[in-house]
Structure 1
């Protein structure tokens, strides 16, 4: 029979495990001292071979009786009478082998805690403290109110002035919106007709030719508001003749309702060319 002792070490802290190991070592030393005093040391169990003992009861050999009590084919010896239970021999029980003391297990040496990297100290942040604002005096409040009132009045005046400005629209030969393009073509046709009927005498006499650009501003009723030169022809006679022809052809047709609803001043910018042969054309 084999005996196996298993020592389960619970999960203890380092101090508790060390204390328990010291107590266990002390008990084992006392056990060894008392065992040596009573009997010799027994070699470790793992060095002894295991033996299986089998007890066999052998029949005793008895001498033949001198006088047979019965006749038989062969000689036989009478069986001995069965012994009582108390008289039957019992095999001696072997002494149990003492369990060798377990070898003490070296406790793991706790490792020193590795140095923990310290986080850099936070940078000092500048704390802005607001100084208490001084309560303005009554005179200061009054002056501020007056300044705000003047500013508000100036803004309102600017807005009113802007809103009171005439709504102006500029058109030219590149204008494609139908209502403006149609009005401009009729206006150019009238200027050309009047100009060719009243071609300037100075241009005819000096055989002058040239090209100029005029910007003519018209009011909603078709009257002329202003005439400005965008580009001169280089001849005063031709420039003066162009302005005279535009004024001679006025007044022009009033603005249609769809133009009047969104335009107060209509600027027509066109190129006028005095050609050889005493002819005026608008482009």
Structure 2
């Protein structure tokens, strides 16, 4: 599989973000890519929730999703939209942080709503409540593609290995982790956690990330990665926005799993812990 990773600095104009992704679709196709991968919140990234409320739409009205589906069909390439903010008809008014796998026909093959939401009370007295705006997903999703079964996740999900165990138990050999990591947590944990997920699952990890200074003032870590099942980083985009092509040899999965058969040796752990 030839993958194209599009490391973005998404802003607060959905139309401009759509233009950038559509251009990346064309560039990826010209480079012989089979699949284009984008980061979390590829279509709109804004921590001003009042302003965002004026632009976040339902899936059916989402300009980024519509244009990317059209571009995928025109180019004949698969696209993984890391995630978009999607409004819904929920009674509580919360949105979904939704990932899309789009076929080369433009058809949506799979959707995944981010399960784990970042809620934290800071030592400074402030707090951040992702769950105040977004509703958590309920379903673990793996999708079959012509190259591999891929397990879907988004950003903060990375810290919860049970999700990736469920995905690898379901036969996923590629784990997708689109993200918009902050710089402090990226410096501390990004490479370590992604390599651990690859090693545990004996699977490739493709983690396409946001990078740089954004229009809403935040700074993201970048370092979009492709990691092989042994835990080796085979691509690291650093902190520069742009497109990178990466050739992935799926035979590597069987090779690593034969050398360290952790998947075959897994046992189901009881939920109740015996205290001695």
Higher strand share: 2
TM-score (structure 1 length as normaliser): 0.15
Q: Which has the higher contact order (CA 8 A, sep 6+)?
A: 2
TM-score (structure 2 length as normaliser): 0.16
